[in-house]
Amino acid sequence: MVLLGIILIIIGVTMIIKPSIIWLITESWKSNDGTEPSNFYNWSTRFGGILMTLAGIGGVIVTYL
């Protein structure tokens, strides 16, 4: 459970700091121009990153209680 929590934290922090990396890996091939993600995509990816980071922290904390 701790390993899963750490993986969630790492991915979540990546989503918060550099959402363009997630866009490049998952969505760039779907775009006609393929230049950059939209502002809404960046916002929603950062929000998802916050939730994923919190879930990872919660998983780590619950393991040690």
Q: What is the pLDDT of residues 8-64, one digit of tens each?
A: 999 999 999 999 999 999 888 887 776 888 899 999 999 999 999 999 999 999 998
What does the angle CA 18 – CA 27 – CA 31 come to, to the nearest 5 degrees? 120
Residue 15's CB is within 10 A of a number of other CB atoms, namely: 22
**pLDDT for position 57:** 97
Any residues with CB less than 8 A from the CB of 27 and at least 6 apart, and which?
Answer: 37, 41
**pLDDT for position 28:** 82
- Rounded to a whole number of angstroms, the CA Rg of the chain reads 14
Structural domain boundaries in the chain: 2-63
